[in-house]
Amino acid sequence: SISNLLSAYAGAPTTIAAVIGIFIESNTGTITTEIYDNSVSLDGSTFPNASSVCLSMNSVSKTSQIKNNVFANYTTGQTGVANHGCFYANAANAYGNASSLADYNSYYLADYTNAYIGRATTTSYTTLAAWEAAMTLNPGTDVNSQVANPNFVNKAIDLHGSSLSVALDGTGTTPPVYITTDIDCEARNSPHDIGFDDFTSGCAANGGIVSPASATACAKDLFVMTSTGFTDDPSVTFQWMVSETPGGPYANVSGGSGATTASYTTGKLKKGIFYYVLQVTCPEGGTALSSELVLDVKGQPDALVTPEGPIAICKGVDVLLTASGGSNRMYQWLKKDVPIAGATGITYSADSKGNYKVLVTNTTTGCTNTSAAVKITEYEDPIAVITPQGPTTFCEGGSVVLQANTGAGLTYKWRKGSNFISGATQSAYTATEKGNYKVEVTNANGCVKLSEIVEVTVPCKMEGKMQTDFPVTIFPNPATDQVNILLSTALDFEVELTSITGERIALLKNKTTIDVSTLAAGAYFFKISTAEHTVIQKLVKQ
């Protein structure tokens, strides 16, 4: 048993091995070396810049039989030229003469950075297959060997096999006749184990102590239980068992993971009190149960969300969500599975679309439950836009048609200032008075949108009678370059040309032909006034 080898080297990285587990030096004469049933563990953590190797063969002309050995190098990744490995030979294709053979060994590297399973002079082989192929002088090298973690009890001070050392159990070959016992003076038995420890000697079943001895959990949670102090023999088998009665009878657990190891993780638990044990069985058939774990599984609190009212809402409308109640309860509301800051009451007012849940905690047991999601959707608001159909500035007695946008399922309510206009519920409204006008548009889902203000001003009074049917003809209409005005009287008249928003463009006296070629395409208004009459007509400029 070779372990806990240290070096004080702290210089630059070097290829020279400062630590060697087993070293076979060159020598003269006819010598046969038998290297059987050794366990070598190297840990280079104290000398990261120095190289190390478990077995170094510098006697390539001699005969060596290397079998049933564990060569484990736990050195972590190295830099520069420093390296670590399991097996070194100072020849490119051999570690001894043609009669030499290495086989039934177990190799292990904890880190493959600057590492090798086998190294022939300066060539490193990181796989067992590549190492076997390189040893052409020794056909059959390591064909029955393996790369496996030996799982020692302690890699530095105790290289006995543990319950996890199954890779070493019964995978070796028959040692020389003079090897009859292992390091503990216990008889070596067939099938033979790899390493200095024979596992199958005197297996006595012991289930150990389960920790914790009692515990509380919550339904639908997972629970981890572990036994310690059980029979430390790689040949034993494990089976976790459970009963709903103290002391059994027990049945094999179902679900979860690790049911046949020393540590078991349950599947999702159900409410109740359960009794768990670990059954340990030796190869010879002896069994033993561990101490009993009493697991009290508490139920989850109810977690149900009830919305008060529709969950399809208009923007700006709240939906009151209420969680299922109960004593000793604590709440946390979630949106898209993210906690909502300050939302810890039994109710929550959701004011926007999204998926809402509530996490309910029983403050006595600590058990939690999350509700199913309530999905709140939002309808689109309607459009609310007013388009004046003429100038919004006119003299007393005049008017302008205010036209709201139209669409299927829309209804309207007109306002002047902050007050609704009685009976004004059509898509258009004729304003005859000054004021700030708005329209409230409601769609089929009941969602409401209020338009921007349209200001109507009436800055002047008309003298005499306003006659909208005064015979005036404007042509052509639509017009491109010029417009002609034809009146039935030769009286003096005035022509005012305005934009659709009421902005004055021109004011002309007794002008019957007007140039509109410079106007942008769109709608305009002509107001033709005489001493007694006023007519407003719409012009379309192309």
Helices (H), ranges, 375-506: none
Local structure of 412: helix, strand or coil:
strand
Residues 6+ apart with CB under 8 A from 345: 331
Task: For 4-58, write each residue's pLDDT tens digit.
Answer: 999 989 899 999 999 999 999 876 677 889 999 999 999 988 899 999 999 999 8
Position of tokens 């006995």?
160
Q: Which band of pLDDT confidence, cut at 50, 70 and 90, is reported for residue 202?
A: low
Q: Which band of pLDDT confidence, cut at 50, 70 and 90, is reported for residue 466?
A: very low
Nearest alpha carbon to residue 151 among 47, 72, 219: 72
pLDDT at 499: 83
**Average pLDDT value over all residues in the chain:** 91
Nearest alpha carbon to residue 141 among 57, 83, 217: 57
The yes-or-no verdict on residue 363 having pLDDT over 50 is yes
Q: What percent of the chain has pLDDT over 90?
A: 71
Nearest alpha carbon to residue 388 among 374, 375, 399, 376: 399
**Whether pTM exceeds 0.75:** no
Q: Answer yes or no: are the C-beta atoms of 148 and 172 closer than 8 Å.
A: no
The yes-or-no verdict on residue 465 having pLDDT over 50 is no
Q: Answer yes or no: are the C-beta atoms of 168 and 150 closer than 8 Å.
A: yes
Q: Answer yes or no: are the C-beta atoms of 349 and 342 closer than 8 Å.
A: no
Q: Which band of pLDDT confidence, cut at 50, 70 and 90, is reported for residue 450?
A: very high
Task: For 71-97, write each residue's pLDDT tens digit.
Answer: 999 999 999 999 999 999 999 999 999
The secondary structure of residue 457, as a DSSP letter, is B
Overall average pLDDT of the 168-197 stretch: 92
Query: In this predicted model, which residue has the larger pLDDT, 275 or 536?
Result: 275
Task: For 297-355, write each residue's pLDDT tens digit.
Answer: 999 999 999 999 899 999 889 999 999 988 999 999 999 999 999 999 999 999 899 99
Q: Answer yes or no: are the C-beta atoms of 225 and 263 closer than 8 Å.
A: yes
**DSSP codes joined into one string, 463-496:** SS---TT--EEEESSSBSSEEEEEES--S--EEE
Peptide bond into 48 cis (omega under 30): no
Task: For 139-173, write each residue's pLDDT tens digit.
Answer: 999 999 999 999 998 999 999 988 788 899 899 99
Q: Which of 84-98, 254-268, 328-342, 488-502 has the lowest mean pLDDT?
A: 488-502
Overall average pLDDT of the 513-522 stretch: 91
The yes-or-no verdict on residue 470 having pLDDT over 80 is no
Q: Which band of pLDDT confidence, cut at 50, 70 and 90, is reported for residue 256?
A: very high
Q: Which of 183-192, 212-221, 245-254, 298-307 has the lowest mean pLDDT?
A: 183-192
Nearest alpha carbon to residue 405 among 430, 441, 435: 441
Residue 400 β-bridge partners: 431
User: 104: part of which helix (H) or strand (E)?
Assistant: none
Local structure of 234: helix, strand or coil:
coil
The yes-or-no verdict on residue 447 having pLDDT over 90 is yes
Helices (H), ranges, 82-227: 128-134
**Three-point CA angle 452, 458, 464, nearest 5°:** 150
Q: What percent of the chain has pLDDT over 70?
A: 96
Local structure of 159: helix, strand or coil:
strand
